[in-house]
A and B are shown apart, each in its own frame.
Chain A
Amino acid sequence: MNMIEVVDLCYRFADGTQALTEINMTVERGEFVVMAGPNGSGKTTFFRHLNGLLSPARGTVTIDGVDVQHDPVLARQRVGMVFQDVDMQIVGETVYDDVIFGPENLGLGRNEIERRANDVLIMVGLSDQRDRHPHQLSQGEKRRLAIAGILAMQPDVIVFDEPFTHLDDSGVCIVLEQMLKLHHGGITLLVATHDLEKVICYADRLVLINAGRIVEDGLPKMILPKVEKYGVRMPCALRMGKEVWPWLAH
């Protein structure tokens, strides 16, 4: 069964802005999908439908066979979302406190919460910072904390909304490594960005969105030559007629 199934999704904001028009898309379990489009093309609005933060005006979104509208809490547990602005995502008073926020809301037992929190803090490399105030962390650490808070809910899908915003080079590499680790662990990844260079080498699929419509969808090497038509910058190497290299030099 497909992990994500979006059928005929339309969405209009209260002020009349038509943000999404007839979106159709399926994502298989374990796929790594990059969604590219200029600012205002509808990436964030689309992602917010995947965990029920917005309700479609028309159409349906199903996660692993369950309609999001039917059970939004389940959708939020299964689809973790890393917001573009991490400061807005972090709600805990300490690093540890933020990680256990989701599991507590799911009503898990104390022992299970403690176990998950320890596991994910080790996974993202923040276990020695668990008692710090989140606002004392660096941008890269904050993003890892946001990821930890989501991983603690054991999602099947993680969506990253412009994950490289405000990150310096080492921050980008750390977050990218984290994404690859999740991908290899079998998690389905969706990444919204207008900056293809950093991720496109690792993606299975590239989806272009423009003015609320999906305009291209396919293998990255098939779609890349067309991106500039839709206001997305082509990776530099490609412009010079060369191949795009992995961003992480290993």
Chain B
Amino acid sequence: MAGALAFCFQPGESALHRFDPRLKTVSLLLLSPSIMASLPAGLAVFSFALVAFTGRAGLDWKAAVYNLRYFGFLLAAVFLSRAIFTPGKPVLVLGPVAFTDLGVFSGALFCWRLILVTTTGLIYAATTHSREIRAAVEWLLSPVPWIPEKRVGVMVGLVVRLIPMILDQAGKTISAQKARCVECRKNPYYRLTHFALPMLRQIIKRADQLALALAARCYNESGTPPAMIIRPVDWWGAGAVLVLCLIMIRAVFIP
């Protein structure tokens, strides 16, 4: 697979890589809703912690940002719709559209939350091996009755392998079409249909090949679990995450 991809595991030895996968997964599950509920002060604290802690994890940020460049369009759309359609005092009027003060505030806040949730998820995916994600999911689900956690684990393992493959295939299909001057076509409908269909066909074919490759090497529900031990430093890490979550959701309880 060419180049480092977003959502793709990047091997390493950083503290985040060594953080126990079970506690790391629980942390992700706690952080995401906390971020979405947080106000600017909490977000600022979390952003600072994120930058301070993951700056040295040795992740390929440039590649991740480049791969997610289309995410920027989503953010812009979210920001604009909030900024324009939220009632409030107009701060900037451009012809028929007016940006309101409350709208700009709520748009910026929402984008900030989205960026942080995505970044947290990316960091999790980049520092957690698929076998660890699988083991953590099995561990989390094992106390839940009626859920065949081993089978869910196999599915999670497959999905984790499939996502980078889909992104890789999208890149290949785009290059193959650029090589034949798809950019000369201005009609977005034409481009979308002529991109989506070949891409879907390729993805199905590659998913099929991946399934064969995994089956040929006895991929199944059992197998050797990864060695997982919770060290004292892991508890400290989980504690820090809990404190961050409390800081972020504080506003929900203390108005």
Binding site for B on A (CB under 8 A): 48, 51, 53, 73, 76-77, 81, 83, 85, 88-91, 93-94, 97, 101-110, 113, 131, 133, 135, 149-150, 153
Q: Within B110-164, which residues are at the interface with A (CB < 8 Å)?
A: 129-131, 161
Q: Fill in one digit per residue for B202-224: 1 if any A CB lies within 8 Å of its CB, else 0.
A: 00001001101111111110111
User: In the complex, what's the smallest C-beta–C-beta distance from A195 to chain B, in angstroms?
Assistant: 23
CB–CB A110/B227 < 8 A: yes
- In the complex, residue of chain A having the shortest beta-carbon distance to the beta carbon of B8: A93
User: In the complex, what's the smallest C-beta–C-beta distance from B13 to chain A, in angstroms?
Assistant: 10
- In the complex, residue of chain A having the shortest beta-carbon distance to the beta carbon of B222: A107
Query: CA A154 – CA B206 in complex, angstroms?
Result: 27
CB–CB A110/B1 < 8 A: no
List B contacts of A110 (CB < 8 A): 224, 227
CB–CB A91/B161 < 8 A: yes
Secondary structure call for the B interface: loop
CB–CB A105/B217 < 8 A: yes
B99 at the interface (CB under 8 A from A): no
Query: CA A93 – CA B164 in complex, angstroms?
Result: 12
CB–CB B215/A104 < 8 A: no
- In the complex, residue of chain A having the shortest beta-carbon distance to the beta carbon of B205: A88
6 examples of A-B residue contacts, CB within 8 angstroms = A76-B216, A83-B216, A91-B161, A106-B218, A107-B222, A131-B11
List A contacts of B130 (CB < 8 A): 93
Q: A107-B224, A110-B227 are in contact. Are A93 and B212 (CB under 8 A)?
A: no
CB–CB A103/B224 < 8 A: yes
List B contacts of A131 (CB < 8 A): 11
Partner among B9, B210, B213, B220 whose Cβ is within 8 Å of the Cβ of A93: B9
